[in-house]
Structure 1
Amino acid sequence: MPTPQPGILAPLPPHARYLVFSLEPDTDARAGLAALRDLVDGEHIVAGLGQAPLSAIGRKVPGLKPFPPLAGPGVDIPSTPAALWLWLRGSDRGELLLQSRRVEHALAPAFRLLEAWDAFKHGSGRDLTGYEDGTENPEGDEAVAAAIAADGSSLVAVQRWVHNFGRFEAMQPEERDDCIGRRRSDNEELDDAPESAHVKRTAQESFSPEAFVVRRSMPWNAGPDAGLMFVAFGHTTDAFQAQLRRMVGLEDGIVDALFRFTRPVSGAYFWCPPLEGGRLKI
């Protein structure tokens, strides 16, 4: 019986490395996917497939859609589709780097590495701004219902957000709390938070139907730049899409206050196949 990739619902690892690949033209996609099945255990490596390799083997996945670019008052959300996304999970950053090199070589020539980003768990699971991430995540059976489809697969939304720390640090503490809608000191939600507060823009139970996802985001850093690798799993992409539309103000013209100090520079959807017999069922 197919089962979900266990890393989807597992606690965040101390370290991670995200790999993004393209599908090279005039190569054997089936051979590349066969190599992928030999590499991915779903726990230490979580895999998500884009539309290109699935189309190459004649596979259509219900619910897997292109990530649409969105624009609202003064903000825009880019779409950066890719063929393959891998989330390498571990406790040693050096080992993850060496593992990613082995993965890159094993998947060539069908898949070509486009990007690699190192990430890490910050404190108890906080963004680099100091605010807790994923406070409203569903748990237990509710997490399974939100993230996993009936066949054991999942769909994942991935965005890399780049923080402007200068802007954030120039804000007064109360202003920062109003942007998030929670106090950083104790993570308590503010009763009088403005409508632009992030928690109000994305309150999962406020949508119709409710828009629950399972967030597995982690901070990233490369040179002077840093931010949040936003990762949200769902049994469809509808819940995430509804949240994103409200964040950019397409519902009521109110833009999420997060955009005052951070912006996404990428955005893609991927299908995370289930496991069967310990291997990806593609």
Structure 2
Amino acid sequence: MSYYQPGILATPVPSQARHLFFALEAIEALPAAIDRLLALVDGKSAVVGLGASLVKALGARVQGLKAFPALTGVGVDNPSTQHALWIWLHGEDRGELLHRSDALEAALAPALRLVQMNEAFRHKTGHDLTGYEDGTENPHDDEALAAALAQGADGLRGGSFAAIQQWQHDFKGFAAMHQEERDNIIGRRLSDNEELEEAPESAHVKRTAQESFSPEAFMVRRSMPWIEGDKGGLMFLAFGHSLHAFEVQLRRMSGLEDGIVDGLYRMSRPITGGYYWCPPLVDGRLDLRALQATA
């Protein structure tokens, strides 16, 4: 039976995680590396996403998959740092995640080279480092399945499209603002997580209200905070049955729809961006039939 990678929708977000990003180095070594990858990942504690360049290197095409677009608005830059392969490791122990990362890196060489690694973690019960709850408007149960998972033929059904951005926060600048100003940037009160009816149109909650798009732009967010030295922020991660919902939201946030820039850019900025296709599972293994069918 073909189904989705369970780590995509498992709740809550894991207590510890690693995002591994790989660049393609040797196409001739790719088939053997993919075989070793299939033996090491389960779709639960390790969610795998393929970038468009890797799919092309395999002589295939996944409908709807493309490279992350670099979007620029007034005072806004959303960079594209697209990679060939992304693996999201889940766990409870940072040491275990280190050893699993090393094993994956060794298994994928020399075809794929690790070029970026970001550790992430669950803060409180699923909060951003600013203190605000993350993913409040996430769909649940059947609605989450419909939002996150693709339909279609075997090999595509149960797959999902992941959008990833690493956001770096300006903690000092945000802390210097009055609490009301901080709440208006987010569009919710920090004290009780209630949405502010009188929040400005630039409030993040209003910019990204999923039901306000036509068609509605629902997706499942699985974001987690990150810290490196004195820097930190949010590894934004969202899964959708296509990339449409994420992209229309990012365009509106960037002011490309109506000229109103999301207030979030006042206290944070994205420093990476990538799109990935997460294959479904069949009998507990990644189902890559969609790639074989179009090769």
Instruction: Report TM bin, short chain.
Output: over 0.9
Code of the aligned partner of 2:5: Q
Tell me which residue corresponds to 2:292.
Answer: none
CA distance in 1, matches of 2:40, 2:235: 23
The whole-number CA distance in structure 2 between the counterparts of 1:251 and 1:221 is 32
- In 2, Cα distance between equivalents of 1:26 and 1:201: 42
Gaps of 5+ in 2: 152-156, 289-295
Taking the aligned partners of 1:27 and 1:121, their CA distance within structure 2 comes to 39
Asked if residue 230 in structure 1 is aligned to residue 236 in structure 2, the reply is yes
**Alpha carbons of structure 1 residues 250 and 224: separation in structure 2 relative to 1, 3 Å:** same
The answer to whether structure 1 residue 8 and structure 2 residue 8 are counterparts is yes
TM-score between both structures, scaled by the size of structure 2: 0.94
Q: Matches of 2:72 and 2:31 in 1, distance apart?
A: 37
Residues 1-282 of structure 1 aligned to structure 2 (within 5 Å)? 1-11=1-11, 12-150=13-151, 151-282=157-288
Provide the C-alpha distance between the structure 1 equivalents of 2:200 and 2:58, rounded to a whole number of angstroms.
49
| SS of residue in 2 equivalent to 1:48 | strand
Cα distance, 1:27 vs structure 2: 3.6
For 1:99 and 1:225, the matched residues in 2 are separated by 25
CA separation in 2, counterparts of 1:184 and 1:258?
A: 15
2:26·2:110 contact (CA, 8 Å) conserved in 1? no
In the alignment, the residues of structure 1 paired with residue 110 and residue 283 of structure 2 have an alpha-carbon distance, to the nearest angstrom, of 26
In the alignment, is the contact (CA less than 8 A) between 1:178 and 1:193 conserved in 2? yes
Runs of 4+ in 1 over 6 A off after TM superposition: none
Deviation at 1:25, TM superposition (A): 3.4
For the residues of structure 1 that align with 2:227 and 2:125, how far apart are their CA atoms? Answer: 18
Q: State whether residues 29 and 53 of structure 1, in contact with CA within 8 Å, keep that contact through their aligned partners in structure 2.
A: no
Q: Kindly state the Cα deviation for residue 146 of structure 1 after the two structures are TM-superposed.
A: 0.2
> Are 1:72 and 1:250, in contact at CA under 8 Å, matched by a contact in 2?
yes
Q: Which runs of 5+ in 1 are unaligned?
A: none
Deviations 1:18-49 (A, max 9, x none): 10000103542211211111111000000000
Equivalent residue pairs, number? 282
Moved more, 35-44 or 203-212: 35-44
Aligned residues with identical type, % of pairs: 61
Please give the per-residue CA displacement for 1:229-258, whole angstroms capped at 9, x wherever unaligned: 000000000000000000000011100000
Structure-1-length-normalised TM-score: 0.99
Counterpart residue identity of residue 97, structure 2 = L
Tell me how far apart the structure 2 counterparts of residues 137 and 278 of structure 1 sit (CA, whole Å).
26
SS at match of 1:28: helix
Q: Is the 8 A contact 1:27 1:109 kept in 2?
A: no
Counterparts of 1:88 and 1:152, CA distance in 2: 20
CA distance in 1: counterparts of 2:287 and 2:101, whole angstroms: 22
Match of 1:229, SS? strand
C-alpha RMSD of matched pairs (Å): 0.8
CA distance in 1, matches of 2:256, 2:72: 8
Q: For structure 1, which segment, 232-241 or 99-108, has the greater mean C-alpha deviation from structure 2 after superposition?
A: 99-108
1:192-211, Cα deviation, whole Å (9 max, x unpaired): 00000000000000000000
